[in-house]
Chains A and B, each alone.
Chain A
Amino acid sequence: MKVQSAMFYFPEEVIEHIFSFLTHHPDRNTVSTVCKAWYKIERLSRCEVFVGNCYAIRPDRAAARFPGLRSLTLKGKPHFADFDLVPPDWGGLAGPWIEAMARSCPNLEELRMKRMVVSDESLELLVHAFPNFKALVLVSCEGFSTDGLAAVARSCKSLRELDLQENEIEDRGPRWLNSFPDMCTSLVSLNFACLKGEVNLKSLERLVCRSPNLKCLRLNRAVPVETLAKIMNQCPNLEDLGTGSLLADQFSEAYVSLISALQKCKKLRSLSGFWDASPLCLLAVYPICANLTGLNLSYAPTVQGQDFINLIQHCVKLLRLWVLDSVGDKGLAVVASACKELQELRVFPSDLFAAGPATVTEEGLVAISTGCPKLNSLLYFCHSMTNSALITVSKNCPNFTRFRLCILEPRKPDPATNEPLDEGFGAVVKTCKNLRRFSISGLLTDQVFYYIGKYAKALEMLSIAFAGDTDQGMTYVLNGCKNLRKLEIRDCPFGDGALLADVTKYETMRSLWMSSCDISLRGCKALATKMPSLNVEIINEWEAEMEENLNNGVAEVISNNNNKHINNGNDERKVEKLYVYRTVGGPRTDAPDFVWTL
């Protein structure tokens, strides 16, 4: 009794102040469930909202709950959309969200979106509806053009950040850069590296000249060395640079200018770009390598062999390195000896079909693990891998939080023993207690899933392809991985038995993706029936003519006459693609013809 009255005696302002120290959004979600009073205080004071699946909640509801919202992060399409497994026009529309925010959350300052479809009209609305709008970050998005960018540039009075990462942007000309008004001096971060077309170089130079706070600048391939040199001379405080094209004539004025400009940038910590990098331009970079913490050479196939070695051996403080596998095991060995602080390594394939000779092998990875014990994040594409290498790697680097290994040929066994890679990947999960993200490949049986279920207790995201023998494999994972949030599976022999083994599990997860597996329509219907809190969506192109999709939710499945395709009696048909996610928003209202919500 006394405790209760003491709690209610706390003025709201004090509770709100206490909540302001909670920045981690899961914590804020938790406190909001304590009692009605706390729910109200929390929601009115919430500044940042993270929506991991844009269909998990209706935009209107989210906007109404958090009227004081300043920063919104949204994710749309499932991860496998990155690899063309999700048909175009699937969804992930930003429009409804921006409209809802425009109605209810006038304080919006930052919008971050990943894998969403954004139109130019939505961008126009964005910059007109929110007077304080400061930061737009778009990752792997599409649906807009440089006209939309022009609208953002033109209308944002105090734009701080425009960060475009790997988007598909329709190029309607270079004029968008001119749209930044002369009085716009607030830019801190500008990244247009993914733009394919030309940019107006003079406008770019002028923009940089009047942006004294610029810390991060990533140019696209159309920006030549001459312009880069001029720009670098204007911003000696730059911390993060994405170069344009680094093709330069020997001893040209531009090259000499670039060298001196780079040497003045004492704060430069991160480099990317390097398109068409000539070895000479790499020389210019050597003086700043010693302070670099981040280096991205994944778009620079010309930087390999001795050129790469000469560059990387200076980068002694490097924390993050992204390269192509053309650097070879030899290059990786140099990384291992030079970059002792390395935490994150990504090695991308330069030959997508593994048709040429092997570039990096397990040797490179073992060398890295031996030389860089602080490594905690790995993405490694290779031609082959052995169990013993994986066991060694996990012994050397027990701190992995993210471990993604992709052997280019599906179902490839350990070439030394011809055995599956169960033991190797098993060693990773046994040793790396903090593993949160895991992608596996090569020849794998149910045994690897047994290990994952048993040991990967911190695992949140698991990606599986061409692996496993029976339903038991998937069941091990669903039963054992208590913290699993995202499970994505392709081309595995898991069927209805696995899908339905623990249906309540999916309510504890963000989403499940299964494609080219062994599940049937009957199994999916059963899941939908048992779990109304999930959206069970199948993507199919069974018939040439599509009826309008079901909008009415689970209960209508059996009786709805419109749905002759779902209900034509053949429930044994295999489902090509299944996407299941928890939601409080009900079935999607914007699903296209080929997406059926069961």
Chain B
Amino acid sequence: MDNDTELRLGLPGSVEVKKPRETPQKRSSPDCISVEDDNLDRPSPKAQIVGWPPVRSYMKNNFYSMKNKADMAGKYVKVSMDGAPYLRKVDLKNYKEYKELREALENLFGCFSLGEILRMDGKYTMEYTIAYEDKDGDLMLLGDVPWEIFLSSCKKLRIMTDALGNKDREDSK
């Protein structure tokens, strides 16, 4: 097991599965298939063995389609608003850009503006700033980094409100 310098077929890092004997007569679907993986920066997945782990093929097939859906299923992050009694959650994957996210947040939290109604027409508005907590736990202002980078680093959203008062606001975005 520690013969790392031993010459053998297979990718570095792949587990060599010991079989009781060689099978020269085997032709179709070998028992042990090396997983193709040319990204040597991360450890390659272990070699696949036919029928292992013992999970029903029905479930395996479902699992693959589920996993793909899960990858697409979205990135839900908590959204808190200062003064609101409870938090909400949004799926960041529903939005392609910051503008869409801001609009969605306005819709979500429109009812919480301390008696004032937050409208898109700019009539009664609150000053608010949207910030987010990143992977390092730091509170960052929304909008500085490209959307994709924001997507991968955002852990939580926070809507911070300023003092009360009606202010006309340009629809600047």
A541-B27, A573-B25 given; A348·B50 CB < 8 A: no
Q: Are B28 and A541 in contact (CB under 8 A)?
A: yes
CB-CB under 8 A for A140 and B31, given A409-B15, A491-B20: no
Residues A295-339 near B (CB distance < 8 A): 298-299, 301-302
Contact pattern, A 389-428, Cβ under 8 Å of B = 1, otherwise 0: 0000000000000000010111100000000000000000
In the complex, chain A residues whose CB is within 8 Å of the CB of B8 = none
Q: How far is the CB of A492 from chain B (nearest CB, A)?
A: 8
B55-63, B141-149, B161-169: which lies at the interface: B55-63
A13 contacts partner chain B, Cβ-Cβ < 8 Å: no
When the two chains form the complex, which single residue of B18, B48, B51, B70 contacts A302, counting CB atoms closer than 8 Å? B70
B66 CB–A CB distance under 8 Å: yes
Residues of A within 8 A of B45 (CB): 353, 355
Per DSSP, are chain B's interface residues mostly helix, strand or loop, or mixed?
A: loop
> In the complex, what residues of B have CB within 8 A of residue A439's CB?
54
Complex CA distance for A279 and B74, rounded to whole angstroms: 12
**How many angstroms from the CA of A541 to the CA of B30 in the assembled complex?**
12
Q: Among A348, A408, A463, which residue has its beta carbon within 8 angstroms of that of B59?
A: A348
Number of chain B interface residues as a range = 35 or more
Interface of A is mostly: loop
Contacts of A576 in B (CB 8 A): 23, 26
Instruction: Confirm or deny: B19 has a beta carbon within 8 angstroms of a beta carbon on chain A.
Output: yes
With A84-B57, A166-B58 known as contacts, the answer to whether A279 contacts B21 (CB < 8 A) is no
CB-CB < 8 A to B27: which residues of A?
A: 541, 544
Question: A352 contacts which of B26, B28, B50, B63 (Cβ < 8 Å)?
Answer: B63
Whether the Cβ atoms of B76 and A279 lie closer than 8 Å is yes
- Report yes or no: B52 in contact with A410, Cβ–Cβ below 8 A: yes
Complex: how many Å from CA A85 to CA B49? 11
Contact bitstring A455-467, B, C-beta under 8 A = 1, else 0: 0000000010100
Q: Could you tell me the distance in whole angstroms from the C-beta of B63 to the nearest C-beta in chain A?
A: 7
- If A299-B66, A301-B70, A406-B54 touch, whether A352 touches B25 (CB-CB below 8 Å) is no
22 residue pairs from A and B, CB less than 8 Å apart:
A83-B57, A84-B51, A84-B57, A85-B50, A166-B58, A166-B59, A168-B58, A301-B63, A302-B70, A348-B55, A348-B59, A349-B55, A350-B63, A350-B67, A353-B46, A408-B53, A409-B46, A410-B49, A490-B51, A492-B20, A517-B20, A541-B26
User: What residues make up the interface of A, taking CB atoms closer than 8 Å to B?
Assistant: 80, 82-85, 140, 166-168, 194, 275-276, 279, 298-299, 301-302, 348-350, 352-355, 381, 406, 408-411, 439, 463, 465, 490-493, 516-518, 541-542, 544, 573-574, 576
Q: Which residues of B contact A (CB under 8 A)?
A: 15, 17-21, 23, 25-28, 31, 35, 43, 45-46, 48-60, 62-63, 66-67, 69-70, 73, 76, 89
